[in-house]
Amino acid sequence: MLGHHRGSPVDSVEDRHRSFLRYAAPLNSEDGEAGTGTTARVIYTPTSTYVFTGFTTRLTDKEADALRATEGCLRVYPEVILPLATTCSPAFLDLHLGNEGFWTRSRFGSEVVIGILDTGIVVA
């Protein structure tokens, strides 16, 4: 997460993000891209620039440490992949794909019609 850039044009914000990657991963002499190969590159930049700016990138641990040490870098958040945590998953509902499971016996929900009636929001 980078510092505040209120109202900055998106192009200049993206250029600033790329400049941070130059500190984290020096230029590759072969292709002129930051980092080793295609590791360090801006993957996503949000378009809103009114609260804070940041970007998504893929870095090695060493590159992430270098980015953290860069002046102006407020925070580096690692990607965390969480397991599905819902009571609506097929495993939780015991909808196994084997011949004996309910899911198979019900023909995988074919010919099932689901209707939703949205009555709006009631403000009390």
* DSSP annotation of 27: B
Cα distance between residue 34 and residue 41, in whole Å:
7
Separation of CA 51 from chain center? 18
The tens digit of pLDDT for each residue in 61-74 reads 888 888 888 888 88
Output the six-digit token pair for 20. 């941070």
Q: 85: helix, coil or strand? A: coil
Residue type present at position 6: R
Q: pTM value?
A: 0.41
The pLDDT of residue 95: 67
pLDDT the model gives residue 96: 66
| Average pLDDT of the chain, as a whole number | 69
Share of the chain above pLDDT 90, in %: 0
> Is a pLDDT exceeding 70 seen at residue 111?
yes
Over residues 87-99, the pLDDT tens digits come to: 677 777 766 666 7
Q: Which residue has the tokens 């040490």?
A: 69
The label of the residue with tokens 């407020």 reads 74
Helix (H) or strand (E) holding 42, with range, is strand 42-44
Query: What confidence score (pLDDT) does residue 63 get?
Result: 84
